[in-house]
Amino acid sequence: MRSFSTARFFLGAALFSILCGLQPATAQPAPAPVKPKAAPANPAAAKPALVLPAAVPVQTAAPVPRGASCHAGMSFDRFLAELKQQAAAAGVSQRALADASPYLVYDQGIVNRDRGQRVFGQVFTEFAGRMAATYRMQQGQARIKTYAAAFARAEKEYGVPPAVIAAFWGLESDFGANMGSLPTLRSLVSLAYDCRRSEMFQNETIAALKIIDRGDLSPPEMVGSWAGELGQTQFLPTHYFNYAVDYDGDGHRNLLRSPADVIGSTANYIATGLKWRRGEPWLQEVRVPQNLPSSFPWDQADLTIQLPRTKWAQLGVSYPDGRALPSDNLAASLLLPMGRSGPAFLAYPNFAAYTEWNNSLIYSTTAGYLATRIAGAAPMLRPSAPVVQLPFNEIREMQQLLVRAGFNVGKVDGVLGQQSRSAVKAMQIKYGLPADSWPTAELLARMRGGPR
């Protein structure tokens, strides 16, 4: 799931349903390939409307609350009128605005869902075990075979390997099976009126109107996640408008129904928007030396630190089977998503595309790992012993103590984000503990007032 400018701040609705245990238990057969269609004489001609789910009415929104504080008490109707004026100034036609108007209604339920998002605190191996499951790897490989021409074209034009595209496709919607079923325009305009991320969703609403104006989708076709993401790789409207490409030649960019368009557009976004480096790796499992754990420079295991592979080899890092790393200057970071006792990876510059797609370290590492599996890599090594994760309340307590110590951990929410990991590393260095950025009961005891 992409960014709200540079990084996604939440997981899409399809992923939430998968995390809640709704993923299929067995692999499903790949759909039949879509045959390229000849471009119509009039590229702007409207496509036949898709059949919407019966449970998606247009005019059943909840009552609009009193004027939102961030809009100086402006009513929703007034806010919407001004938003339409902004859209017109941005080039959206009156025809598109008229077509979209019945769908631009406020829904308090959408705002409630946004404010009540659940955060999943699984450790990486648990999350990856579910999300990078064998069936999803197999489905990704099957899609690459089924749509071989589109994948080959995308790799030639954008330099993005098929496995990378297929992994995002699988994680975001299970290859189109779970795209969401809520009216996109209603979601966007409701979140735009809310004060939490108003400006961002105003821009997303205008981008959705531009998609309609361009003829890619009609308002009733715009159905997706509650957060306004669209299509089989869950693009926000700004990314849909800027990066979607017509790969099946029908004159439209349809990321809901055209696998070819999904493949080409996802490759375009990764290459152009996320600055993918052609011909370079993204993530590779390695093994760190466990026989001398006290002497290994754990503080160097950080995505902000890059060393040449020859240096990692000198430090004892090897392939999982013990083979030596190449003695070259290819830069890489050592990534330990569960600290020194968990799996280890070399994250190459292309891994930045994953953290830009979704700034959750667990998600981005899982996406990169799934791509390696689709490309033929072996399953990752399992920790020799269970890696203990502090419970939610203790991680939150540690964050509070870090804040008191002068660190910026972002939101104190019991979730181990990158800012919290960096602060944990600094405290580990202070107390002379292995600085692998993984919070432990020992570190928490020290921070509570133990020996300094």
pLDDT tens track for 169-196: 999 999 999 999 999 999 999 999 999 9
With pLDDT > 90 as the criterion, what percentage of the chain qualifies? 74
β-pair type (223-224, 182-183): antiparallel
Q: How far is Cα 331 from Cα 85, in angstroms, rounded to an integer?
A: 49
Determine the pLDDT at residue 368.
98
Taking only the tens place, the pLDDT of each residue in 119-149 is: 556 789 999 999 999 999 999 999 999 999 9
Exposure letters 156-192 (e unless 16+ CB within 10 A, then b): eebebbbbbbbbbbbbbbbbbebbbebbbbbbbbbbb
Q: What are phi and psi of 191, to 5 degrees?
A: -70, -25
User: Which has the closest alpha carbon to 147: 175, 178, 173?
Assistant: 175
For position 123, what pLDDT does the model report?
Answer: 86
Residue 62: its pLDDT value, please?
A: 55
Closest to 190 (Cα-Cα) out of 65, 87, 96: 65
List, in order, residues 6 or more apart from 362 with CB less than 8 Å away: 122, 124, 127, 128, 337
On the 0-12 / 13-18 / 19+ scale of CB atoms within 10 A, 102 is middle
Packing angle of the helix pair 259-268, 148-158 (nearest 10 deg): 20
| 320 confidence band (pLDDT: 50, 70, 90) | very high
| 269, pLDDT greater than 70 | yes
Between residues 389 and 265, which one has the greater pLDDT? 265
Question: 106-120 b/e with 16+ CB inside 10 Å = b?
Answer: bbeebbebbeeeeee
d(CA 87, CA 206): 5
Reduce the DSSP state of residue 324 to 3 states and report it: strand
Query: Which of these, 51, 29, 34, lies nearest to 262 by C-alpha position?
Result: 34
Distance, CA of 152 to CA of 449 (rounded, Å): 59
Mean pLDDT calculated for residue range 275-302: 90
Query: pLDDT at position 378, please?
Result: 96
Q: What pLDDT is attached to residue 390?
A: 92
d(CA 269, CA 149): 19
* Alpha helix positions (H), 90-133: 94-100, 108-115, 124-131
Q: Which two tokens stand for residue 12?
A: 């899409």
